[in-house]
Amino acid sequence: MGFELLQLEGATVRWASSKPGDPPRVTYAIARDTMSFDKARNCSEIVSIDTLLGASHIERPQFERELKAAFDLWQQAANIEFAEIDDAKSADIVIGAQAVPTGRAFANVDYKPSGEPHSIRRSLICLNPDQPWKIGFDGNLAAYDLRYTLAHEIGHAIGLDHPSPEGQLMSFRYAENFRQLQPGDLSGVTRIYGTRNAAPPTRN
């Protein structure tokens, strides 16, 4: 099928709609200050993205454009909507740099463990500020493209897991063959949320 749904405590997870038939409306914000999340398995402490951007010579407006483009990939494919807000403390998805750098990038999904699918409460996305970052593909696999990486982590933040080593944007191996959602990614996100402007599926 080319996709894998994220399973936590034996159940899938998804953002819930405020009203049946409406798309979930999910807010996101970039962390401006240090934020700690004691129960988070990943991204337990997030700091401002500015140090990461400075080290990779990326301007803040460029990062914001790439982040919006990454969210737009999923919003254009499925019945889910995203809106940026200024207050990271009240945002549904928080994006920032890791306070303790490790790996390349991670997502953390906090949810209400009742029913199936579990309803997501908050997701975190954190990038390693010690790793090199770039915008676009140039064949250098040591530096990851921001849009690709952010879109991949957003996929986790809305309920998708790794389906395979390669071939989909949600695959776990970074490659520079595409920057768009692939057939498996599209099948996975529409399995959870339905197609754009259509009622979401009643079951997973």
pTM of the model: 0.95
Helix (H, G, I), strand (E, B) or coil at 48: coil
Q: Which three-class secondary structure string do you get for 128-189?
A: CCCCCEECCCCCCCCCEEHHHHHHHHHHHHCCEECCCCCCCCCCCCCCCCCCCCCHHHHHHH
Nearest to 92 by CA among 70, 108, 72, 77: 108
Residue 199's pLDDT band, with cuts at 50, 70 and 90, is low
For 119-141, how does the pLDDT look when each residue is reduced to its tens digit (9 = 90+)? Answer: 999 999 999 999 999 999 999 99
* CATH superfamily, domain at 4-192: Collagenase (Catalytic Domain) (3.40.390.10)
The domain ranges of the chain are 4-192
For 54-102, how does the pLDDT look when each residue is reduced to its tens digit (9 = 90+)? Answer: 999 999 999 999 999 999 999 999 999 999 999 999 999 999 999 999 9
